[in-house]
Structure 1
Amino acid sequence: MHRRRFLGGTIGLGLAAVGAAGTAFTVLGGGGGKASAATGTLPVPDLLEGTASDGTTTFTLEARTGTSEVVSGVTSSTMGYNQAFLGPTMKWTSGDTVLLNITNSLGADTTVHFHGAHVPAASDGGPQLAFADGTTWAPTFEVKDEAKTLWYHPHALGTTAEQAVHGLAGMIIVEDDTDTSAALPGDYGVDDIPVILQCLASDTAGDIKYDLTGYLGNGLVYPVLCNGANVDDTTLTFAATKTRNRFRLLNASPSDIITVQRSDGGTMTQIASDQGYLAEPAEVTTVRLVAGARAEVVMDLTDDVTLQAVITTGWVRGGSGTYDFLTVTAGGSDTPDDLPGTLRTIDRYDTSDFTARTITLGQSGTTMLIDGKAGTSMSAMEMISTTLGSKEIWTVKNGTQLEHSFHLHDVPFQLISVNGDDPSGVQLGWYDTYEVVGGGSIEIAMEFTDFADDTYMYMLHCHLLQHEDEGMMASLMVTEG
C-alpha cells in the first residue's frame, strides 16, 4: 500500500516535509557516480573494511559529489561518502582504537559527526572542526561505546541540512563481546540488516530542497528512500535465509517523524534504543523515530512480513503517508534459541542530588533559539559549561508550537519524565535524541564522563536539521573543573 496525503499550504514556520527519494546506485569512478534505477531488492550498504596496524584500525572515507536518482527517472546532484549517495557502514569494536582518514572533495567546508558516539570533543566532528575542500581530517580515539547503532553525517554551521539531504550519511555498528551480543543475529547483510530511512523534498527536475525557500516552492514531490532506494512505487524485498533477523532502524531524514510497523499489525521485538540494548526485550507493534533516532528490532519469521513507514510531517509542508517499504520473505529453516530475558543492566538514576538546568527551545520569526540565543555562529550561540564527573538533570522546554528532536552530543541520557509523565517500556532505555512536542517538555539525566577539553566543545541542538541551521543549537564545554 502506498498512500500519500499532500498538505497544500504551510503548516507552521519550521514544520517539516515528508518523503524522501533515492535509489540503489552504482558508483562510477572519479568524483561520484550515477545511480542505477531502483530495483525490487533491498540494497545493503557496503561494509567498509578497516586496516589494522599497531593496534589501530584505520578507515578511509571521502566526502564527494555525484549524481543519483532521488526522484525515480530523474538525475539529481548528490553527495556521498566513497560513492554518489549515502556511505558505507563502518563496524567498530568496543575497546579498539580507530583512526579515520576523511578527505573533503565537496568544494565546500564540511565536518563529520559521529552521532551518538562517546568520543573526545576534539574528535566529535562539531562545527568547530570544519575542514576545507581538498584537506583530510584524521581523528583517532578509543571506542568506549558498548554495542549499539550509531551513524555519521556532516555538522558544519549553516550547511548541515544541505549536505545531509544530498546524501552524506552512513551507519556505524559498534560490536562488543558480551553474552547478549553473542546471542543476537550479527552477520551483516545476512541476518543483521541496516535500514536507513529518509524523507526528502525535490522539485520534478530533481533539485533536492533543504531550506525554507526551497520547501516553500511550488511543484514539489516528496520521495521516500530506504537505503537510498526510492520506495514511492516499489516495495523492496529482502530474502531472509535465517529465521531470526535483526533490523537496525535509522531515521536519517532532515525533519520528519517515521513510525515503523508491520502491515499485518503483528509485533516486533525491540532490543535497543539509540544508545544500545534495552534492559530486556520488549514486544512492540510500532517503533517511533524522530529525526536522528535509531532502534533495533528482531523478528522470528516463518511467514513473509511487510514493513511500513508511517511518515508524519515535521517541518514546512509535504506529504504525510504510509509506505510499504520492505517485504521480508521467510526462508530460514533453523530454530533459534530463546532471546535472553535480560539484555543488560540499566541502573536508573537517583537525581535527588543532580545539578538542575533548564534548556528552553524558542523561536523569533524564522530564527530558532536555545535560551534566547541563535546558534548561527560559535560566538553567538549559548554556551553551557559543566565539569568532568558532573551529574545533571535538564528540563528541556519547548517554548514553540513546533516539533523538535533534541540531540545531545558526548554522553547518553535517561528520560526522567516526558510531558510530565514517568517513562515506561522502551523509554527506560538510553537515548541521545528524543522528541519534544510543541509546548511540551522532557526531563533528562546524564553524567559527564571520560573527556574534558578547554578548547573544543560538544553540541546540543534540534535534530530537525533546518532548525539547527536556523539557530537552534548551543555549545557544551566539559572541563576538568
Structure 2
Amino acid sequence: MRRRTALKIFGIGVGGAVVLGGGGFGAYYAAAKSDTAGEIAFGTALPIPPLAKPESVERGARAYKLGIQPGETRFKPGPATRTWGVNGTYLGPTIRARRGERVEFAVRNGLDRATSLHWHGMHLPAAMDGGPHQTVPAGGTWEPRWTIEQPAATLWYHPHVHGSTADHMYRGLTGLFIVDDDDADALNLPSEYGVDDVPMIVQDRAFDGDNQFVQPVPLGGSLGVIGDEILVNGAVGPYFDVTTRLVRLRLLNGSNARLYNFGFSDDRRFSLVATDGGLLAKPWQTSRLYLSPGERAEIVVPFEPGERVELRSYPSEYGGTLGRLEGFDDLLDICQFRAAGTLSGDARLPAVLGVAPDLAGAAVAARRSFVLASDQINGRSMAMDRIDFGVREGTVEVWEVTNDNGYLHNFHVHDVRFQVLTVDGKTPEPSLLGWKDTVLLAQGKRFRLAMRFSDHTDPNVPYMYHCHLLQHEDDGMMGQFVVLGEGEQVGAVHHHS
C-alpha cells in the first residue's frame, strides 16, 4: 500500500493535518509504511537527460546557455503537471566537461521570481558558486565562469535561494554536471553515456487528483516533504534496457528529504566505484548503499543475459520510533532493468581505481566543531549578512560535526571535498573512504572531516555549509565562511539579492 492511499483511508490531509473521518494517530502510524515492491508497472523507458551542447568551444572554453523556465510535464495519464526546468519543462541537461577546461554560462531566469543555480560539489570561486548571494532576478541573466580544477566526478546543479530552495527544487530545477579526466578515462570503466553509463536522478514526489505536485509533510514530521511516488530522470515506473555485461549507474539522491537505501530485488552485489568527490581507491562490493539528499554514488552492476531485476530502496535503520512516518520503513521499487538475450561490452572493473584521500597525516591549521540541532548550527540560524569565520587558503582544517537532536541530518560543505577521518573515533565504513562533499550524520555520532582550502580567495563573498535536508536548510540550518589569502581578514557581505 502506498502512503497516500493510507492518508485517504484514515482521513489524513495531504499537508499532514488530521481531518474528520480519521482513524486516529495509531491507525495512521500503522498504515504509514509504503510497500510498492511488485506493484509498479514499469511501463516507461528510462529517459536519459540530454547532454548540454555548448554554444561555442573556443580557446579551451565551453560556453553554454541555460534557460530556467516554467512549463508542463506529463508524468502519468491525465492532466499535465505544472513544473519548472532548465532548457526544458522538467530537470535540466547533463553538463559534461573535462578537468582543465574553462566553462562559461549564460543562465537566463524565465520565472516570475528570483532563483539560482548552485554547482554542487564544484571547486570554484565563491562569486561563481550560485549560492544564496548569487540569485538571478526574474528576467535576468547570470554569467558565471571558471576553470575546472578537480578530478573526474559526478556533480550536480540545483537552486540555492535562501528560504526557498526546497520549493524551487521540488518543482524540477535539477541536473547533473559530470567532470571527466584522463585518469578516469584510462580505467576502461563503462563509459558510453546512456548505454552502459547511466545517469539516475532519483526523487520522490506527491501528486493531487489533478496530477499537480503537492508538498506533504507527514503528521509530526521533522524532515520536510516526503512524496509517495518515485521519479527517475522525471519518469514514474521506468525500465532500462541493458545491452552490456556491466552497467555503471550514476545515482543522485535528488529528493528534498527522503533517505534511500539502495539495493536490488535479488540482493545481488554491486561495486561502489565513486562517491561525491570522485573515484574510490578500489571498488567496494556491497548489496546496500545509503544515499541522503544531495549525495551521489557511482556503482557498477553485473547483468546476465535475459534477466530482469529491480533497483529498490529498502527500509532504513536510521528512523527511530517515528521514522515510519517519514519513509524509513518504506520498501520502494525504483527502476526495472531488462537485460537483452545477448550482452556485449569489454569493460572490466579494475582492482585499483584512484588514490585514497591523503589528509589524515596533514598539518592541521585549525579545528572546528559544529553541532546540528533545532534548525541551527552551533545555536545560530543562518544570517545572510553574517560571515561565521574565515579559513586560510592553502591550509588543512579538521571539522568535527555532530547531529544532536534526534532527527536525521546530513552535512554539505561548498567548494571543497573532504575526507571522513573517523566516526566516533573509529575508521569509517567503506562507503565513506573516498572523497565526499555531503555526509549522512547518524544521531549522536562525531564525524571528523578533513578538508584543504585552495586556489580561490575572497574575504567578502562566502561559501555555505549546511544540512542538505532542504526544509532544515531553508529554516536556518546553514552557515557561511570565506577563504582568505595571505594578509586578508574576514570582510563583510556587501550586498545580496
CA 1:131 to 1:239, structure 2 compared with 1: closer, same or farther past 3 Å?
A: same
Q: Is the Cα contact below 8 Å between 2:189 and 2:347 reproduced in 1?
A: no
Matched, 1:138 2:138: no
Q: Which residue of the other structure, out of 75, 87, 90, is the alignment partner of 1:82?
A: 87
Alignment pair present for 1:228 and 2:234:
yes
1:476: Cα distance to partner?
A: 1.4
* Alpha-carbon distance in structure 2 between the residues aligned to 1:259 and 1:468: 22
1:122 partner SS: helix
Deviations 1:145-175 (A, max 9, x none): 2111000000011110010011000011111
Q: CA deviation at 1:73?
A: 3.5
Q: Give the one of 103, 106, 112 matched to 1:107.
A: 112
Q: Structure 2 matches for 1:236-385, cutoff 5 A?
A: 236-303=238-305, 304=307, 305-310=309-314, 317-319=325-327, 320-331=329-340, 332-334=342-344, 336=346, 338-350=348-360, 353-354=363-364, 355-363=366-374, 368-375=375-382, 377-379=383-385, 383-385=388-390
Give the Cα–Cα distance (whole angstroms) in 2 for the partners of residues 215 and 237 of structure 1. Answer: 35
1:72 deviates by: 5.6
Whether the aligned pair in 2 keeps the contact of 1:237 and 1:328 (CA below 8 Å) is yes
Closer, same or farther: CA 18–478 of 1 in aligned 2, 3 Å: farther
Between Structure 1 and Structure 2, whose CA radius of gyration is higher?
2
Determine the C-alpha separation between the residues in 1 that align with 2:219 and 2:143. Answer: 34
> Which residue type is aligned with residue 464 of structure 2?
M
Q: C-alpha distance in 1, partners of 2:362/2:51?
A: 45
What SS does structure 2 have at the residue aligned with 1:49? coil
Give the superposition deviation at 1:397: 1.5
Determine the structure 1 residue equivalent to 2:48: 44
Secondary structure at 2:172's aligned position in 1?
coil
> Any conservation in 2 of the 1:70–1:223 contact (CA below 8 Å)?
no
Q: Post-superposition shift, 1:356?
A: 0.9
Gaps of 5+ in 2: 18-24, 26-31, 35-40, 487-497
Does residue 466 of structure 1 match 2:468? no
Q: Do the aligned residues in 2 keep the contact of 1:409 with 1:460 (CA within 8 Å)?
A: yes
Shift of 1:407: 0.5
Residues 326/229 of structure 1: CA separation in 2 closer, same or farther (3 Å cut): same
User: For the residues of structure 2 that align with 1:246 and 1:415, how far apart are their CA atoms?
Assistant: 25
Partner amino acid, structure 2, of 1:284:
T
Q: Whole-Å Cα distance in 2 between the matches of residues 72 and 358 of structure 1?
A: 50
SS at match of 2:85: strand
SS at 1:431 equivalent: coil
Partner of 2:213, secondary structure, is: coil
Q: Distance in 2 between matches of 1:324 and 1:207?
A: 22
**Is 1:116–1:412's contact at 8 Å kept on the other side of the alignment?**
yes
Normalised TM-score (structure 1): 0.85
**CA shift for structure 1 position 180:** 5.2
| C-alpha separation in 1, matches of 2:390 and 2:214 | 35
**Number of aligned residue pairs:** 445
Cα distance between partner residues in 2 of 1:402 and 1:476: 25
Whole-Å separation in 2 of the counterparts to 1:343 and 1:428 = 13
Cα distance, 1:186 vs structure 2: 1.2
Q: Once the two structures are aligned, what percentage of the paired residues are identical?
A: 35
1:190 aligns with 2:182: no
**Alignment CA distance shift 1:221-1:286 (3 Å):** closer
1:138: how far off?
Answer: 0.8
Check conservation: 1:71, 1:204, Cα contact below 8 A: no
Whole-Å Cα distance in 1 between the matches of residues 62 and 336 of structure 2? 36
2:163 is aligned with 1:158: yes
Deviations 1:318-356 (A, max 9, x none): 545222222222235435254221101114323574121
The alpha carbon displacement at 1:317 in A equals 4.4
Higher RCO (C-alpha 8 Å, min separation 6): 1
Q: Deviations over 1:256-311 (max 9, x none)?
A: 11121111011011110111100001111112100000000112322423211236
Q: For 1:308, what is the secondary structure of its paired residue?
A: strand
Q: State the 1:117 CA deviation.
A: 0.8
Cα separation, 2, equivalents of 1:250 and 1:221: 17
Pair 226,362 (structure 1): closer, same or farther in 2 beyond 3 Å? same
Match of 1:399 in 2: 404
| TM-score between the two structures when normalised by the length of structure 2 | 0.83
Question: Within 2, Cα distance between the matches of 1:211 and 1:351?
Answer: 46
**Which runs of 5 or more residues in structure 1 are unaligned?**
12-16, 20-36
Query: Counterpart amino acid of 1:422?
Result: T
For the residue of structure 2 that corresponds to 1:455, the secondary structure is coil
Cα separation, 2, equivalents of 1:214 and 1:140: 44
Deviations 1:193-240 (A, max 9, x none): 001100134443444345869998xxx962211111123xxxx22112
Cα distance between partner residues in 2 of 1:321 and 1:421: 30
Q: CA RMSD in A?
A: 2.8
- 8 Å contact kept, 2:84–2:171: yes
**Shift in alpha-carbon separation, 1:370–1:307, aligned structure 2, 3 A:** same
Residue 18 of structure 1 and its aligned partner are, at CA, apart by 9.8
Conserved? CA contact 1:18–1:201, under 8 Å: no
Match of 1:30 in 2: none
